[in-house]
Amino acid sequence: MSSEADSPLTPPAGTYKRRPRYSGKNPRRFDQKYKELNADQYPDEVAKVLAAGKTPAGQHVPIMVHEVLECLRPQPGERAVDCTLGYGGHSRALWQALQPGGHLLSLDADPIELERSLARLRAGGMEADTFTALRCNFAGLTKALADQGWHEGADVIFADLGLSSMQIDNPARGFTFKHDGPLDMRLNPQRGKPASEWLAELSVEKLTRLLEENADEPRAALLAEHLYQTARQTPLTRTKALAECIRQGLPRSVSAEDADNTVRRVFQAIRILVNEEFTVLDGLLRALPGALKPGGRVAILTFHSGEDRRVKKAFQEGRNTGLYSDVAREVVRAGMEEQRQNPRSSPAKLRWAIRAH
């Protein structure tokens, strides 16, 4: 008779690793939410998270999909570009509207999420003959079209300028202050300097201008001085340390809610600097008229005033100079039900334009 150690019911030594336990009823850390991170295996758990108005860990709920499609009106057989692939929600909706016979080109600067989204979309039926994904930011739109052989341009172009939830929520990327992580914030971790290095180098004057221009921060000068002095004494290399430093630099009369909003604004301002987001957006806005076919449609989702001002100005100037035949007079906002189900849709603003013939 075989011993218990030889039993086929007992896994060989070293082949089984028990999942680490967490304290409390539900996992709190991003990496502990194994059910949400494995959506295919636990669809009921993911459904519960969505029903509660939250975004499952490692996923992203696309914003204003219906409104985006209404503005862009993609048709079967057309060529479209999604400049910000992200989790792939908008890309999937655009691709479906282009079939049969159409082709979608999606771009993303994040090599980590690009590979994950591409694998997921390929598994969902988006084959290479109708869908192409390239790693580049949207300032490289003109070259991406040329590489694709679309020299006459695209019928439809879309860009969602918001950060994807799987980037925001993952503490290893350095975008969130909910959990501690390295102060990085790079969309492409293989390029550029992390946020920690920027904070170690910036002067008080540049920090003040950064907070004013990138986040409309009302206490920019006060916070810039505090951040500068702190970073010179103790380098800020962790997200929790930066968040605590910001709170300590605020007057005692500031409420906890106002302090959290201030932390978000400062994180946003630094992230925009690290990734040169305004420079990249300006490059996209300059390239758009030449990247669209005559009569082609473009729509852009923005999430803060600096982005929206740039898009609004570019579209209006294009309308005045005859590049665009029509542009959005007012921004399109998410409906109240979507805002309730997905609070991250609340600040979103959608603007559109049509290329002149």
Residue 44 domain-assigned? no
| Assigned domain for 46 exists | no
Nearest by Cα to 150 from 282, 292, 284: 292
The pLDDT of residue 187: 87
* 3-state class (DSSP) for residue 227: helix
- Rounded Cα distance, 126 and 103, in Å: 10
pLDDT at 36: 42
Say which residue the tokens 């390929």 belong to.
122
Residues of the domain holding 206:
189-274
Tokens of 192: 């550029």
Tokens 């997905």 correspond to 342
Residues 79 and 226 in one domain: no
Give the CATH number for residue 236. 1.10.150
Q: Is residue 21 part of a domain?
A: no
- 151 within some domain: yes
Domain boundary among the residues 240, 274, 308 is at 274
Task: Give the DSSP H or E segment for 326.
Answer: strand 324-327
Q: Same domain for 97 and 161?
A: yes
With respect to residue 12, please indicate whether it lies within any of the assigned structural domains.
no
Nearest to 155 by CA among 201, 97, 107: 97
Q: Other C-beta atoms within 10 Å of 42: how many? A: 17
Q: 106: how many CB neighbours lie within 10 A of its CB?
A: 28
Task: Identify the segments of the chain with pLDDT beneath 70.
Answer: 1-60, 165-166
Q: Is residue 321 part of a domain?
A: yes
Q: Judge if 196 and 143 occupy the same domain.
A: no
Q: Which two tokens stand for residue 107?
A: 């771009």
CATH of the domain at 288: 3.40.50.150
pTM over cut 0.85: no
Count of beta carbons in the 10 Å neighbourhood of residue 41: 10
pLDDT of residue 54: 52
Q: Is residue 242 part of a domain?
A: yes
Say how many domains are in the chain.
2
Residue 254 CB contacts under 8 Å (≥ 6 apart), including other chains: 262
Which one-letter amino acid corresponds to residue 291?
Answer: A
pLDDT digits (tens, 9 = 90+) for 319-344: 999 999 999 999 999 999 999 988 88
Q: What pLDDT is recorded for position 172?
A: 87
Does residue 284 sit in the same domain as residue 270?
Answer: no
